Amino acid sequence: KQEVTQIPAALSVPEGENLVLNCSFTDSAIYNLQWFRQDPGKGLTSLLLIQSSQREQTSGRLNASLDKSSGRSTLYIAASQPGDSATYLCAVLIYNQGGKLIFGQGTELSVKP
């Protein structure tokens, strides 16, 4: 059974710091890996999607890497800002009859001014 784990559960950093969020998964048979952002009481916004054949994706200050063989992904946020404060969720897409996302429990990020 696929399990996704995110470390740390919570992180507080001063503004301007570079930071790394970690995600690990137990079964390398994935179709892709996605990182989502969730603001308090809101839905999920997709940040980056990495296909299983890719190693990384970049969008602005965000960079996500994927090492499928070791079951790990990292989300790197450069020059963090207070507006980055949110919960970040990692999810892997596995095969069922239509594609199923398995989520980690999230990392709650707080960026202090």
Partner 1 sequence: EAEVAQSPRYKITEKSQAVAFWCDPISGHATLYWYRQILGQGPELLVQFQDESVVDDSQLPKDRFSAERLKGVDSTLKIQPAELGDSAMYLCASLPGWGGADTQYFGPGTRLTVL
Q: Which residues bind partner 1 (CB under 8 A)?
A: 4, 31-32, 34, 36, 41-46, 49, 51, 89, 91, 93, 96-101, 103-106
DSSP string, 55-87: SEEEETTEEEEEETTTTEEEEEE-S--GGG-EE
2 close to 92: Cβ distance less than 8 angstroms: yes
We find the least distance from the C-beta atom of residue 64 to partner 1, in angstroms, to be 13
Long-range contacts of range 53-56, CB-CB < 8 Å, 24 or more positions apart?
none
Rounded distance between C-alpha atoms, residue 96 and residue 93, angstroms: 9
Q: Which is nearer to partner 1, 14 or 55 (CB)?
A: 55
We find the least distance from the C-beta atom of residue 34 to partner 1, in angstroms, to be 6
We find the least distance from the C-beta atom of residue 16 to partner 1, in angstroms, to be 28
Q: Which is nearer to partner 1, 19 or 101 (CB)?
A: 101
